[in-house]
A and B are shown apart, each in its own frame.
Chain A
């Protein structure tokens, strides 16, 4: 029945598709050892970083692009990508917000991410990454008082090289996979967080990623270390201009939680998804992994994925410490010709480790949504437990939902539960809502939001409302 209505409703308007005209320092397209040396030089990196990058590059040359994901895209020409583009700055980089290019501040304001500390979202510190570099980090002084380090990756390499050298690549080694290896060779910036022993981070931390320059790939790297007995909640958001060609975003995120530490990592991903015909959009090929190294540590991933032409990511947790806990909460929406192949890996190594996976896929238009998850219990992981729930909601007759769960239990005491179901948005539910006077649009939003509620509940308060709004925008008609 209401297929045409539903179609109107899910036809989204992308509000972040503008381009900032700004002078930038941009490399010629192409990838070579020389380009990597240039990036490292631009960043004034110590020798260990350069060597690491070069080792990654040498390894990358031996790899080929993986084909196993349930996504389709033409071969990417890696010589046609620009690997470094940074807004020009007068001196060595802004020392404070006053020195940041006003045009950049204006861009973030338009995106709803004010970098002025007085007008910020309550209690959130922001690191803003524009193309290849971090342009501003707010609340650094206040965080420093608590002993928290929150800065751009470049700055961390300069100021805290011992931490970077100790932890970089220990969760996602540079040999990990094609895109992680590429990232290791060419990554240009990202965020760095260190929470010292016993500290509860006094505010939410967040990074806002923006791709602006054309033909440019964004390769950022985030490293978060929560030392013993510490706690941090971190959120990332992403947008990009509307362009007809595809752009590559290949990021790496590494999380490390030591004894009794807790990291909560939330993502609201709204990269440009491409147009109705599937032209353009971001290829979001990301490797995210956390290691619960300490006993009783906890890592929790929450992701709201509404953007990108293709999303290919599996935020995972390695449960090394005894009694450690891994969680994955995901909402992935694919509309028009968007494709998502996303899920998680929970690797149980320690004893009494627990993991929870809640995945909600929503498909509309010609969208293809795949859940791919691995739960692995190693022989020494006595009494490991996992609970997985995968649900898919279909909003059209032309979209698809796919589930590929992998379970490997090598310890007889493991308890693993898996629930999955797929449903078409209930014609009965829609009719019920409409019979009570709700418009189709309100009814769809209500049903979809209800479907996602379990995941939204996991987001930090400040962002739960934002996520709900984002989903409503993504489901709204092209009116207005």
Chain B
């Protein structure tokens, strides 16, 4: 499903200095698998998530990214989205004046158009969204508000999961979706994600904490430090990290 080979990336800071962020990432996520990427602040996890979605602030200096046999570097962000890549944002933006349901409908129909499907009419769309909104425990009143405008942190994250369920992507990337969530919101987010688990679908969960992984149990856990994946393992690796912190791994990376 997702294949990343020796990916190097850099960003230009305010002083126009190039700063290298990723130093050779290798990652292979097979259909049906759930991978967790963990690591301390500033390790490059969010950069990787945004790069996959096509954010143009970064320069890819070396390496390759493939989604289901398609070279991601050839695709614009919207083409990646239509091809089935979904990013649940760490900080979902507000779009004042744009109705949340209208936005979702435009998104769903642009993906349908790409697959040469007719647009969903208002009734079908409403039926679908009403069933999905229950799954994420969101009030229907959020549909008639502007996209994310004056939503609380938890509501924004639930809204991301609602969009994900509506778009049912091939590859879902969750960028610290658990940050700032109370336990109820965390459970509904996890419930939403788990309902998407399927043999044909892959999920990448980016997170600081092991907590979310109690609810979304990963097949593989990667630890990223300073722009490199330094260790990969099963779900027990997350528990080990929880206990020992990242320190013991970071030290080993200094020595490399």
Contact = CB atoms under 8 A, between A and B. Distances in A.
B123 interface: no
Contact of B110 (A2, A431, A439, A451): A439
Interface in B103-148: 103, 106-107, 110-111, 114, 146
Interface string A435-467: 111111010001101111110000000000000
Classify the secondary structure of A's interface with B. Answer: helix
Interface string B165-180: 0010000000000000
Nearest to A426: B93
B97 A434 contact: no
Given A426-B93, A446-B106, A434 B76 contact: yes
Interface in B196-230: none
Of the candidates A429, A438, A442, A451, the one having the most CB atoms from chain B within 10 angstroms of its own CB is: A438
A435 B77 CA distance: 6
Contacts of B89: 432, 435
A437 B97 contact: no
B81 A435 contact: yes
A431 B167 contact: no
Contacts of A435: 53-54, 77-78, 80-81, 86-87, 89
Of the candidates A1, A427, A435, the one having the most CB atoms from chain B within 10 angstroms of its own CB is: A435
B107 A432 contact: no
Interface in B55-104: 55-57, 76-78, 80-82, 86-87, 89, 92-93, 95-98, 103
Nearest to A2: B56
Given A446-B95, A446-B103, A440 B56 contact: no
Interface string A416-439: 000000000011110111111111
A433 B110 CA distance: 11
B114 A447 contact: no
Contacts of B47: none
A453 to B, nearest CB: 4
A437 B93 contact: no
Contacts of B55: 431
A424 to B, nearest CB: 13
B103 A434 contact: no
B87 A429 contact: no
A437 B81 contact: yes
A438 B53 contact: no
Interface string A1-21: 110000000000000000000
B77 A431 contact: yes
A449 B96 CA distance: 9
A434 B54 contact: yes
A437 B56 contact: no
Given A2-B56, A431-B55, A432-B89, A438 B78 contact: yes
B82 to A, nearest CB: 5
Nearest to B108: A437
A1 B57 contact: yes
B95 A436 contact: no
A451 B96 contact: yes
A437 to B, nearest CB: 4
B157 to A, nearest CB: 14
Contacts of A1: 56-57
A450 B81 contact: no
Nearest to B107: A436
A429 to B, nearest CB: 5
Given A1-B57, A446-B106, A436 B167 contact: yes
A446 B109 CA distance: 15
A433 B94 CA distance: 11
Interface of A: 1-2, 426-429, 431-440, 442, 446-447, 449-454
Interface of B: 53-57, 76-78, 80-82, 86-87, 89, 92-93, 95-98, 103, 106-107, 110-111, 114, 146, 163, 167
25 contacts: A426-B93, A427-B57, A429-B93, A431-B77, A432-B95, A433-B95, A434-B54, A434-B76, A435-B53, A435-B78, A435-B87, A436-B103, A436-B107, A437-B81, A437-B82, A437-B110, A437-B114, A437-B167, A438-B78, A439-B78, A446-B106, A447-B95, A450-B146, A451-B96, A453-B97
Given A431-B56, A435-B53, 13 more contacts: A2-B56, A427-B57, A432-B89, A432-B92, A435-B86, A435-B89, A436-B103, A436-B107, A437-B107, A447-B95, A450-B96, A450-B97, A454-B97
